[in-house]
Structure 1
Amino acid sequence: MATGARYVQNSLKGGKWIPSTCKMCLHTCGTLMHVTDDGVVNKIEGNPTNPSNNGKLCPKGNSAIMRHYDPKRFKQPMKRTNPKKGPNEDPMWEPISWDEALDWVADELNKTIADDPRKILPSLEDFQKMNVWNWPLAFGNQNSFQSGGTMCGGAYHPVNGYIHAAFAVTNDANYCKYWINDGTGDGFSSHLHAAAQSNWVADARVKRGMRCVTIEPRLSISAAKSEEWIPIRPATDRHFALGLCHVMVKEGRCDYEFLRKDTNAPYLVAPDGTFKRNADGKIYVWDTQTGSPALWDEIDHTRMALEGTYTVEGTECKPAFQKFMDILEDCTPEKMSEVTTVPADTIVRIAREFSDAAEIGATIDIDGRTLPFRPAGYNYYRGAQGHKHGFQTNHAFKMVNMLVGSIDTPGGLMGATLDDQWVDNNRVSAGENGMMEPKPHQLGPLPPFAYPPTTFHLLNYFPVGLHPPHLNLLVHENPEYFGVDFKPDVMFILHSNPLWAMQGPRDKWFEFMESMRFIVVSDIIPTETTRWADVILPSHDALESWNMTMIEPPHTEGMCLRQPATDPLYDTKSEEDIVTELSERMGILDQYNEIVNIVSGFHHKPELALQPGKKYSDKEIAERKGLLWNDQPLEWYQERGHAVTPRRPDKWYRPWDGLRLHFYIEDMVTIPRDLKQKMEEADVPFRHEWHFDDYQPLPTAVLDPVHEEPPEYDLYGMFFKDIQINFGESLSNPWIKDIVYRDPVHIALILNPKTAEKQGLESGDIVQVDSPYGRIYGRIGVTEGMHPDALGVSNSLSRIKVTHGGVPHAGGHFNDLLPYDLRNTDAVTGQPETVCKVKLTKLDDWPEPLKQGKTVYELVDELKRPGKTGSH
């Protein structure tokens, strides 16, 4: 931007509109960028031709201009000249050439690979570029130091893969009449395509009078705009869902046709938890007409028993549905009310309203198909499912929908794909015994079982899960106990900020960073993590780079093009160019090209496959993705910006028609049995600490360990995000800061007024917040919009850097309060607990080091010195 340039209203500036795709979060709303005749981007709007977001754009999307012109952007490759590293150490960057930077990084990576490729810790989180995300597979590395997954949908994604063969879920705004949000702002403020989904949900409410109910501890945007807000004690959402299931089963409010015909609910379960099979491996059901066992494909589904106990070949068996009924006996509304604090009569009423709204038995004709019509959906996300028993919790939410038959039906809870890649790609395939094949692993392959482990974060022991990166810290503290025979010494970090996003105390993560020999970071702006780098490889931003993708669109499908609005402002490169140049220097270019082919699906059209020995730019890869989708060249996309259409009904509604869904997940019996046997045979020293009971084929009412902390921790600490700070690093952006820091919710630790009075606190009081795992400080804010048992901490308070002027330091980071141990990690998926118990201590003033502008971590050091009291 020219120095001293004058600015006038956009309407008086000549120029052109360029269609593109937003990247201010991980999703893909269509945009129009206005570029003036002198080459300045001065307006970004939603693209009205894109039916996903229909011209709507959230605050982050509009603020992409401020990221593009951020004066703090990295402008050229740089190397560190200050050998001392720390959260407040100035790296004293010195510019270097790209050749010097790339040669240096490649040499350091190869040095470690020659020793042991497991010693590299990658953290690659450009979710819109999965071709880059999986780069470490090219040198045989499956470590992960990134939070993407466990801190958003660690258990959510695998369970979606089991039930829908999909990556995400959302309610069907096309037909839904009763929309439940549990722990999510879908349709209002967050999650899938926030601006797009809010447009779809608003239409459904205005045009059809759709009713919305939000279950959350906090009066969020979703809760405030819903017809009803149901406050709930944190980390008890599974119990609320089981209470609903109890009512629906007891009162016969179930779609029994769906359960018999479209799920494995009638399949007979033997005492060992597996399905009862004959000698050929075929599963038995009970024939109510003949009063005898039959194979699942021998009789009409209407004759299959759902309830009862039967003897088959001398073995006492029960239908899977009966097994769930047995669990629900102890999940009465009264008992679940004691856990959740939601009144029992509210649980009963919501169960009845939901099942009535589902219109069990109704049908609808769509595109020549007669489909069940179930216009009620129980939708949820991180706030509800991010807990120790994450797999069971996600499964419980599915069961609410399963009981009324609203899985993947018009109006119900729908599976959303990560990226279809080509038009006719259907995510579904047949499994065994008439069931749909589960697909829990959609972000890449998992390493096989091994002891010693081949991954530093123990992924070898999570055969169903996503990466549990918080366990890097646990293993770092005691590598001998976990049998790790290597020590990571290099980090490669790209568009990721693990020091901000990871749970566990920052000071311990700082020690982890200090143990590294070499750290390379590729990013756009300074972050908490970039301060630890030895070299910076600056990347283009979204307004000067190419991409083609679709990321979890809730109601549409089709590729979205990102194209440059301007030439690169600085001496930066695309992520593809950075990784490709490194691959060539490291001698792994051919391996990387093949990874891109596999991840992008290019083998579906072999003429698009990347060839050995050739480097491909971001533009070339984008063009191939467009051709794979619909055979249209890049110029076609450049003119239109996208190929988005409403989601094809045959891929959206019951794409698994003719197959049975996993009501009962037998893998949760066989997988832990196999894993336990392998751990025993290998004499894994921590096998007795592994929580094999986390694996359950049906959800149970077991309490998460967070409810069992010492009684002095008398409140539940939880943190929250709104649309402007969701799914993206945006708080250094002045437009976003202007929104966030004018909102009292985002500048205080939030308590219910009755709780504040009980604690002897008033609005504005300074408090010390302790969990069993860490400490932060802050000021109290009071609102009726918080559950009395909870302390709410906005994500805006969780910064630990002062790199950008004006980003407030809030006395700590909420993630410091969270555990990073096996006790609080779901042994099935690796999902960590994201709620903690806390206690508050009123202070007369800020601790002196904080008043002096020091960080809470320096304060910790002060308190640890001889003669001082207190500890972290």
Structure 2
Amino acid sequence: MNNVQFDQNSLKPGKWIRSTCKMCLHSCSTRVHVTDDGVINKIEGDPTNPSNAGKLCPKGNAGIMRHYDPQRFKQPLRRTNPAKGPGIDPKWEAISWDEAFEITAREIKKSLDEDPRKIMPSLEDFQKMHIWNWPLALGTRNFYQSGGTMCGGAYHPLNGYVHSTFGAVNDARHCNYWISNGAGDGFSSHLHAAAASHWVAKARVERGMKVVAVEPRMSIAAAKAEEWVPIRPATDRQFAMSLSHVLVNEGLCDYVFLRKDTNAPYLVGPDQYFVRDADRQIYVWDTSSNSAKLWNDPTLKNENLALEGEYVVNGVKCRPAFQVYKDTLKDASPETMEKITTVPAATVRRIAREFAKEARIGATITLPDGRTVPLRPAAYNYYRGAQGHKTGMQTNQAFQLVNMLIGNIDHPGGRCGVTLTDGSVDNNHCYPGECGQMLGTPHQLGPMPDFSWPPNEYHLAGFFPVGVHPPHLNMLSFLEPEKYGSTFKPDVLVNCHSNPVWAIQGPRDKWLQFLREMRFIVCVDVIPTEMTDFADIILPANDYLETFNGTMIEPPYTEGICFRQPITAPIHDTKSEEEIFFELSERLGVLDQYNEVINMILGFEQKPHLKLQPGKKYTDRDIAERVGLLWNDKPIEWYMEHGHSSTERRLDKLYRPWEGMRLLFYIEDLVYQREALRQKFEDAKVPFRDEWPFDDYQPLPTTVLDPIHLEPKEYNLYAITFKDIQMNFGEGLSNPWLKDITYRDPVHTGLLLNRGTAQKLGFADGDIVLVESPYGRLYGRLTTTEAMHHETLGVSNSLSRTKNENRSVLMAGGHYNDLLPYDMRNTDGATGQPETSCRVKLTKLDDWPDFLKHGSTVYDFVDSIQKAEGKGGQHNG
């Protein structure tokens, strides 16, 4: 052995280029190494960006495999096989770009001239909001991409009310007690996964921050936490309210903050509206004079504002908003909620007290900018798993009220708002509303369409004035057009980097039929997906390593533009999204309208010299350059050298950006919106007005049960889905690196069931089972584990696949989303948020059904791995 010479691995000669990742919808900065002969051979995090600080998740590292994926679309394609669907060969024929544009524009124009509402967009490039909003230039507000309610359907509007931001995150700089409820932030997913994990790891290592994970599955967050609290799915709101019950009834609240910085003292009448004078100014109760005064009375002192009690003002019985919630919480004691959540009352009381103690109510911190502000190093974090339920708006508010009660909103260590983008470095995001309150801004992605009857949108978006687009409701119009007033039927679908047939809940067979009935479908994409199985034309896009872009997408602790630039020239006959949509706009006669849409969406109107001009098409470089100039006036050459303009978030925009305004403890706007919508339904004589869920609009959360808990008792388990970092925000299993690490993990190749529950029900590890909900079914093999709540079945996101032409994505035993409802009974009437959990029952099978025996499946793949590793062919997942 001494004679054997080992050469150290090294990179080939070349250069490093700074850029930005796009393997999920967020934007970590990268360094990419390209050899002298133009081959990309390494991607890593850029240590100069304080957001991800050189860290990069598995998806980011695997970007090189997407770039050189042999299945990439290499030129425009035209379908020659009229049959469409999973597993059907489209028999693609290569065509020129000019012919592809001519066919696409001609077919879109037919519907555009007849009725723009017949165009169904599904554009999901979140890093390029100017592509996402292209349909506005056509005059259609239809929406089919899953990046609506299946993401943060109720989370985003509620953040708009509480922070005037799109997202929110616990402040890892100062937090010492982190409750993680159904979220991957800081551990496995969501906001800038690698960046957040870096910040949270520092907090845990350097300050010993304690993490309490509340969720049905022992996720990565729960495995790393000091404490895992298993909880019954879809009861997170009740858990949060039981925490609030303890905080309120044991006097563990930040009463100074509630009186000074929120509308908790504002008096509420029995009609749920604030009590006002003739000029619509709101009353409060002054304990020093024992009388009602207007909120802006100069004689008032904050310490004398009543938070509790019942009063009579101008003949109206009323209570402070805080008292209204305290009365609601009478039904939310830990002992009562334990029967719903299964979390022991003693555990709730202990966590609430620990949480309040760590909040250090009364403590302050002097910031580097000279301000002295409250220090509240305890915060409640949550996301999809906790908030994705029928009563989504109420549920999200219940979480935020736990934070608000201890006074941590936008304070060091607390729950801080995260803007989608600031556009320009000096832009703040908070604006004054009426009567001293901060303006609630639920429409973070722009306003919803106006109400109309019959509806002008196929997905009924005009019925959700404070919500986000509910794409699953396209199915209601498709199946019951007479009931839901559909006077048109979409017949052209424009798809870009979107895969709704996989991502949206509801029955796969109905969604496939929905697509088959489209007259024409064009897909702009990089690789085959379930959606491209239905395309008539493929317009192949450059991948992110071949394009320019500038973006700021919800960085949790920083601000500034992350810049993307080509590492190589396009290696195939592909084009940027900008080139594609500007060309289509010109051919459709809407180029000027599209330029105005971009000026509005990207904020170029703030600096008129940056505005796109009529009659001109622009490149991806042109748009990226303007984004950088809007932020800090730096030219594109500066960004090409530095790669980003990211800095730690400016303190005046991070902490108390609403200084001088009162936060919305009580959201009166939801009462206004409810009653205004109810009146519109009545005036228009909407036939289902008596069954519409208006009660989902509440100014404060209630303990009402979600319908999932009212399903027939034969469905004796709850089912949830989950994803880890390698599948964060989007498809990744066609990527061989990601597929390899996913399918070697039994967590992702089996249906997870609590081991004790399995024994009780007569199941064993490795059993093949049929899973049925009231709405659909799937098949799988059980993996028994102690790391699941005893009533819960866990279905990994990687098992939710159907067979398509992309042979590298293996077929599994059905689709989790088939198990989910798509009706209004299980949709939040306020936000459009659908229920993302369900009740199921299991049936043991002797063998796989015939349709799963043909072709390669996940289970075949795992068996082959285990045989190769000498473990035999019988896997446990």
- TM-score band by shorter chain is over 0.9
Whether 2:483 is the aligned partner of 1:481: answer yes
Query: Is 2:249 aligned against 1:250?
Result: yes
Which residue does 1:665 correspond to in 2?
667
What residue number does 2:629 align with?
627
| Structure 1 counterpart of 2:446, one-letter code | G
TM-score relative to the length of structure 2: 0.96
Q: Name the structure 2 match of 1:697.
A: 699
Give the structure 2 partner of residue 281 of structure 1. Answer: 280
1: CA distance between counterparts of 2:486 and 2:641? 53
How far off its partner does 1:250 sit?
0.5
Amino acid at match of 1:200: W
CA distance in 2, matches of 1:767, 1:807: 22
- Which amino acid in structure 2 is aligned with residue 391 of structure 1? M
Query: Whole-Å Cα distance in 2 between the matches of residues 343 and 175 of structure 1?
Result: 29
Task: For 2:109 and 2:577, locate their aligned partners in 1 and report how far apart those are by CA, in whole Å.
Answer: 19
Moved more, 753-762 or 615-624: 753-762
Deviations 1:126-176 (A, max 9, x none): 000001110000011111001102111000000000000000010001111
2:20 corresponds to 1:18: no
Q: Structure 1 counterpart of 2:317, which letter?
A: E
CA RMSD in angstroms comes to: 1.1
Give, in angstroms, the shift of residue 515 of structure 1: 1.2
Q: Contact (CA 8 Å) 1:307, 1:319: kept in 2 or not?
A: yes
Alpha-carbon deviations, 1:40-68, whole Å to 9, x = none? Answer: 00000000000000000000000000000
1:826-868, Cα deviation, whole Å (9 max, x unpaired): 0000000000000000000011232134999xxxxxxxxxxxx
Once residues 311 and 447 of structure 1 are traced to their aligned partners in structure 2, the CA distance between those partners, rounded to angstroms, is: 40
Tell me, yes or no, if structure 1 residue 351 matches structure 2 residue 362.
no
Q: Secondary structure at the match of 1:326?
A: helix
Distance 1:313 1:726 in 2: 55
Distance in 1 separating the partners of 2:34 and 2:640: 15
CA distance in 2, matches of 1:770, 1:446: 35
Distance in 2 between the 1:475 and 1:762 partners? 43
Cα distance in 2 for residues equivalent to 1:854 and 1:92: 21
CA 1:806–1:9 in 2, change beyond 3 Å: closer, same or farther? Answer: farther
Which one-letter code corresponds to 1:220 in the other structure?
A: S
Q: Output aligned runs, 1:180-195, within 5 Å.
A: 180-195=179-194
AA of the residue aligned to 1:774: G
CA deviation profile, 1:389-424 (whole Å, cap 9, x unmatched): 000000000000000000000000000000111000
Cα distance in structure 2, aligned partners of 1:610 and 1:789: 56
Query: Letter of the aligned partner of 1:305 in structure 2?
Result: A
> What secondary structure sits across from 2:434 in the alignment?
coil
User: In 2, distance between residues paired with 1:333 and 1:301?
Assistant: 31
Contact 2:151 2:384 in 1 (8 A): yes
Q: Is the 8 A contact 2:476 2:484 kept in 1?
A: no
Q: Which amino acid aligns with 1:288?
A: T
Q: Which amino acid aligns with 2:94?
A: P
Cα contact 1:134–1:444 (8 A) shared by 2: no
- Deviation string, structure 1 residues 545-567 (Cα, Å, up to 9, x no partner): 11000100000001010001100
Instruction: Tell me which residue corresponds to 2:234.
Output: 235
Q: Which amino acid counterpart does residue 535 of structure 2 have in structure 1?
A: A
Identify the residue that residue 874 of structure 2 maps to in structure 1: none
Structure 1 position 254, deviation (Å): 0.3
**2:89 is equivalent to residue 90 of structure 1:** yes
Does structure 1 conserve the Cα–Cα contact (< 8 Å) formed by 2:733 and 2:808? no
- Supply the distance in 2 between the matched residues of 1:625 and 1:266 (Cα, whole angstroms): 42
Aligned residue number for residue 411 of structure 2: 409
Is the Cα–Cα contact under 8 Å of residues 10 and 42 in structure 1 kept in the other structure?
no
Partner of 2:558: 556
Determine helix, strand or coil for the equivalent of 1:152. helix
Residues 165-188 of structure 1: CA deviation (Å, up to 9, x unaligned) = 000010001111111110011111
Matches within 5 A, 1:3-152: 11-152=10-151
SS in structure 2 at match of 1:11: coil
- Rounded to whole Å, the distance in 2 between the matches of 1:511 and 1:152 is 24
Distance 2:805 2:103 in 1: 26
User: Counterparts of 1:86 and 1:528 in 2: how far apart (Å)?
Assistant: 8
**Which runs of structure 2 are paired with 1:318-717 in the superposition (5 Å)?**
318-366=319-367, 367-717=369-719
Structure 2 partner of 1:217 = 216
**Contact 2:776/2:818 (8 A) holds in 1:** yes
Measured after TM superposition, the shift of residue 577 of structure 1 is: 0.7
CA distance in 1, matches of 2:8, 2:685: 71
Structure-1 residue corresponding to 2:4: none
SS in 2 for 1:433: helix
Aligned partners of 2:602 and 2:223: how far apart in 1?
Answer: 40
Cα gap change, 1:12 to 1:369, in 2 (>3 Å)? closer
Aligned to 2:720: 718
Alpha-carbon distance between aligned partners in 2 of 1:82 and 1:9, rounded to the nearest angstrom: 52
Structure 2: distance between partners of 1:209 and 1:770:
44
Unaligned runs of 5+ in 1: 1-7, 857-872
Task: Tell me the amino acid that sits aligned with residue 98 of structure 2.
Answer: D
Change (3 A) 1:300 1:745: same
Aligned residues: 849
Which of the numbers 794, 797, 801 marks the counterpart of 1:795?
A: 797
User: Take 2:223 and 2:23, find their aligned partners in 1: how far apart are those partners?
Assistant: 25
For residue 791 of structure 1, give the secondary structure of its aligned residue in structure 2: strand
Q: Is the CA contact 1:689–1:822 (under 8 Å) kept in the aligned structure 2? A: no
Deviation of the 1:726 alpha carbon = 1.3
1:201-244, CA deviations, whole angstroms, 9 ceiling, x for partnerless residues? 11111111111111110010000001111110001011110000
Distance 2:809 2:463 in 1: 40
Q: Structure 1 633/10 Cα, relative in aligned 2: closer, same or farther at 3 Å?
A: farther
The 8 Å contact of residues 507 and 817 in structure 2, kept in 1 or not, is answered as: yes
Report how far residue 12 of structure 1 moved. 4.0
Q: What amino acid is aligned across from residue 834 of structure 2 in structure 1?
A: P
Q: Aligned with 2:540: secondary structure?
A: coil
- SS of aligned partner of 1:142: coil
Query: 1:262: how far off?
Result: 0.4
Task: Give 2:272's aligned amino acid.
Answer: G
Distance 1:852 1:365 in 2: 66
**Cross-structure match for 1:156:** 155
CA distance in 1, matches of 2:423, 2:829: 32
The separation in 2 between residues aligned to 1:812 and 1:847, in whole angstroms, is 11
TM-score (norm 1): 0.97
Could you tell me how far 1:803 is from its partner in structure 2? Answer: 2.7
Query: How far off its partner does 1:804 sit?
Result: 3.1
Give the whole-Å Cα distance in 1 for the aligned partners of 2:806 and 2:294: 66
Say if 1:10 and 1:799 are closer, same or farther in 2 by CA, change over 3 A.
farther
SS at match of 1:85: coil
Contact residue 130 and residue 598 of structure 2 kept, 8 A: yes
| Residues 729-768 of structure 1: pairs in structure 2 closer than 5 A | 729-768=731-770
Identical counterparts, % of pairs: 66
**CA distance, structure 1, for counterparts of residue 851 and residue 609 of structure 2:** 63
| Cα contact 2:101–2:584 (8 A) shared by 1 | yes
2:522 alignment partner AA: V
Partner Cα distance (1:728, 1:477) in 2:
28
CA distance in 1, matches of 2:150, 2:286: 45
Q: Runs of 5+ in structure 2 lacking a partner? A: 1-6, 859-877
Q: Once the 2 structures are TM-superposed, how far is the Cα of residue 445 of structure 1 from its aligned partner? A: 2.6
Distance 1:746 1:51 in 2: 32
CA distance, structure 1, for counterparts of residue 212 and residue 96 of structure 2 = 56
Whether 1:775 aligns to 2:773 is no
Residue 801 of structure 1: how far off its partner (Å): 2.6
Structure 1 Cα separation of the partners of residues 8 and 633 of structure 2: 40
SS at match of 2:824: coil
In 1, the alpha carbon distance for the partners of 2:183 and 2:294 equals 41
